[in-house]
């Protein structure tokens, strides 16, 4: 009677932290439990064959926005060829609006919310009785000190080939309505001494890249400083053995005591993911996002100019109440702050997220299929939204890839959003594709577009010269001044 914990990760390099939490908290059922991870894009029949090879009594699937369609096919196939296997679902995608989902109708049981403790007790009841009467079970949220740490369940193969995810806290005190964390009442920290001991164990096993999944790493500055000190100590003790840490920061909360520590990290050892999302104050109020824009911008500028931290900053297009002009102003403001990467995100309707309350008043139209991307709003129509989606894809290929650093300043010039939108439209007209464009071809296309832009400027100047050729000497002198100004502007 074995139990399998499974999911489909977005990439091979990812390792599911959620499955390892479940494994760590299986208690007496741990000896008959194992993890079987896969990657999206694998044939459903191949995955089912590998799962059934272990003769499971129960299979628990972690269901997310990126894998729900494929896991639905897998569960349907399992129920056809092995109906005796009990299927238990968990994860954010099935924790809300569960009754209307096809995958939930196929499965035997669902655990909503926190599954660390509830999944184990549900499996015990399935195997040993009494048989659970309800299909949907609300996950129990215990104090964090009662949850066993998952880090021992990263294998040596994981450490050698995959990203290692860790967390110092769960939850979030902020109420940004596009995010499921808006439903949390606060953030809960793990006991810090124990956590640092777990990090020490991972380091001793060879982990050198730590990706923290906390929504608000810099909320508790005292804890943040102790965690940063852990990594500074490692860098000082072993300067030729680099370590790398990734954190998500609240952009307008960076006191001097934290700045002093951030400045001590050498290049290549620290990355911050920073959610700006929008600079529009009215939109921020509409979606319950509290953010001091001037302070956030000041902190971003300081991080870029005074530290070696790599900055990955997020913006979201398609928020209720924001039009193209507003988004363009925010994008240009962010570009001027020179983060290393701008993640141009398109709004998605996460199941359970409060953003849905604006659907009627702001004309929000979402795709009905995962990942539920916004298709139009009352401010941005479908065609314009498609242009933004292509913009986001080309931005990754051109700007975030880091391959075209020498060309990017010329591409963006003095109007980053308008210029890149024009490039995006041109690339799509030229290639009819947003994927499978080789870097070599893209380089040629960028140079071709820049050349065409210069030719258009030259044509404008020539037209201006011809227009004034029949005027007097003073007019010709004035035309020469205008040409000079145009060249300076270019």
CA dihedral 476, 478, 484, 485 (to 10 degrees): -150
* All residues at 6 or more sequence positions from 11 whose CB lies less than 8 Å from its CB, including other chains: 39
Instruction: Please give the pLDDT value at position 313.
Output: 98
Radius of gyration of the chain (CA): 26
Tell me which of 3.40.718.10, 3.40.50.170, 3.80.30.20, 3.90.1150.10 is the CATH number of domain 163-380: 3.80.30.20
pLDDT by residue for the chain (490 residues), tens digit each? 799 999 999 999 999 999 999 999 999 999 999 999 999 999 999 999 999 999 999 999 999 999 999 999 999 999 999 999 999 999 999 999 999 999 999 999 999 999 999 999 999 999 999 999 999 999 999 999 999 999 999 999 999 999 999 999 999 999 999 999 999 989 999 999 999 999 999 999 999 999 999 998 998 999 999 999 999 999 999 999 999 999 999 999 999 999 999 999 999 999 999 999 999 999 999 999 999 999 999 999 999 999 999 999 999 999 999 999 999 999 999 999 999 999 999 999 999 999 999 999 999 999 999 999 999 999 999 999 999 999 999 999 999 999 999 999 999 999 999 999 999 999 999 999 999 999 999 999 999 999 998 776 655 544 544 444 444 444 334 444 333 333 333 3
Q: Which of 11, 29, 9 is nearest to 19 (CA)?
A: 9
Instruction: Please give the pLDDT value at position 454.
Output: 78
Reduce the DSSP state of residue 316 to 3 states and report it.
Answer: strand
Q: Which helix (H) or strand (E) holds 300?
A: helix 293-306
Question: 34 is written with which tokens?
Answer: 């194992």
Question: 113 is written with which tokens?
Answer: 């919310």
**Alpha carbon 414 to chain centroid, angstroms:** 28
Instruction: Please give the pLDDT value at position 233.
Output: 98
Q: Which of 248, 98, 100 is nearest to 169 (CA)?
A: 248
**What is the residue extent of each domain of the chain?**
2-144, 163-380, 448-489
Q: Do domains 2-144 and 163-380 have the same CATH topology?
A: no
How would you classify the pairing of strands 56-62 and 2-9? parallel
* All residues at 6 or more sequence positions from 430 whose CB lies less than 8 Å from its CB, including other chains: 445
> Exposed, middle or buried, 316 (CB in 10 Å: 0-12/13-18/19+)?
buried
Instruction: Please give the pLDDT value at position 162.
Output: 95
**Alpha carbon 90 to chain centroid, angstroms:** 20
What is the residue-wise DSSP string for 49-93? Answer: HHHHTT-EEEEEEE--TTTHHHHHHHHHHHHHH-TTSEEEEESGG
Task: Please calculate the CA angle 212-217-220 and round it to the nearest 5 degrees.
Answer: 140
> Exposed, middle or buried, 124 (CB in 10 Å: 0-12/13-18/19+)?
middle
Topology adopted by domain 2-144: Rossmann fold (3.40.50)
**What whole-number distance in Å separates Cα of residue 7 and Cα of residue 16?**
8
Q: Which residues pair with 313 in a beta bridge?
A: 274, 342
Instruction: Please give the pLDDT value at position 459.
Output: 54
Q: Which of 184, 167, 183, 261 is nearest to 221 (CA)?
A: 261
Q: Answer yes or no: are the C-beta atoms of 483 and 464 closer than 8 Å.
A: yes
* All residues at 6 or more sequence positions from 176 whose CB lies less than 8 Å from its CB, including other chains: 182, 277, 287, 288, 289
Which sign does the torsion angle of CA 348, 354, 360, 362 carry? negative
């Amino acid at each position: 009677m074995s139990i399998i914990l499974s999911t489909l990760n977005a990439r091979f390099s990812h390792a599911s932290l959620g499955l390892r939490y479940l494994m760590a908290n299986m208690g007496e059922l741990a000896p008959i439990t194992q993890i079987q991870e896969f990657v999206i894009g694998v044939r459903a029949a191949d995955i089912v064959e590998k799962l059934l090879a272990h003769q499971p009594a129960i299979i628990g699937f972690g269901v997310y926005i990126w894998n729900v369609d494929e896991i639905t096919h897998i569960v349907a196939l399992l129920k056809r060829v092995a109906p005796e296997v009990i299927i238990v679902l968990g994860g954010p995608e099935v924790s809300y609006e569960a009754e209307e989902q096809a995958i939930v109708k196929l499965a035997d049981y669902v655990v909503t919310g926190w599954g660390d403790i509830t999944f184990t007790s549900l499996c015990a009841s399935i195997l040993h009785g009494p048989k659970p009467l309800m299909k949907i079970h609300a996950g129990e949220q215990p104090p964090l000190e009662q949850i066993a740490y998952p880090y021992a369940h990263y294998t040596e193969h994981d450490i050698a080939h995959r990203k290692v995810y860790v967390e110092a806290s769960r939850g979030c005190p902020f109420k940004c309505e596009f995010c499921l964390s808006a439903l949390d009442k606060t953030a809960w920290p793990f006991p810090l001494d124990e956590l640092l001991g777990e990090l020490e164990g991972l380091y001793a096993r060879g982990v050198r890249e730590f990706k923290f999944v906390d929504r608000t790493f810099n909320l508790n500055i005292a804890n943040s400083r102790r965690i940063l000190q852990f990594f500074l100590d490692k860098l000082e003790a072993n300067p030729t053995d680099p370590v790398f840490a990734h954190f998500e920061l609240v952009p307008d909360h960076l006191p001097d005591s934290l700045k002093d520590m951030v400045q001590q990290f050498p290049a290549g050892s620290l990355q911050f993911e920073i959610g700006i999302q929008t600079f529009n104050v009215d939109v921020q109020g509409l979606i319950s996002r509290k953010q001091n824009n001037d302070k956030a911008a000041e902190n971003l500028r300081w991080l870029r100019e005074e530290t070696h931290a790599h900055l990955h900053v997020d913006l979201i297009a398609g928020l209720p109440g924001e039009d193209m002009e507003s988004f363009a102003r925010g994008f240009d403001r962010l570009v001027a702050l020179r983060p290393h990467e701008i993640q141009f995100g398109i709004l998605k309707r996460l199941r359970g997220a409060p953003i849905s309350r604006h659907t009627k008043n702001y004309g929000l139209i979402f795709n009905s299929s995962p990942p539920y991307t916004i298709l139009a709003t009352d401010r941005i129509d479908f065609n314009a939204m498609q242009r933004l989606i292509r913009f986001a894809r080309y931005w990754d290929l051109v700007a975030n890839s880091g391959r075209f650093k020498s060309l990017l300043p010329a591409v963006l010039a003095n109007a980053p959003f308008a210029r890149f939108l024009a490039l995006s439209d041109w690339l799509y007209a030229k290639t009819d594709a947003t994927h499978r464009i080789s870097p070599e071809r893209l380089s040629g296309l960028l140079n071709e577009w820049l050349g065409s832009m210069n030719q258009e400027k030259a044509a404008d100047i020539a037209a201006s010269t011809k227009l004034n050729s029949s005027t007097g000497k003073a007019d010709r002198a004035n035309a020469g001044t205008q040409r000079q100004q145009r060249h300076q502007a270019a």
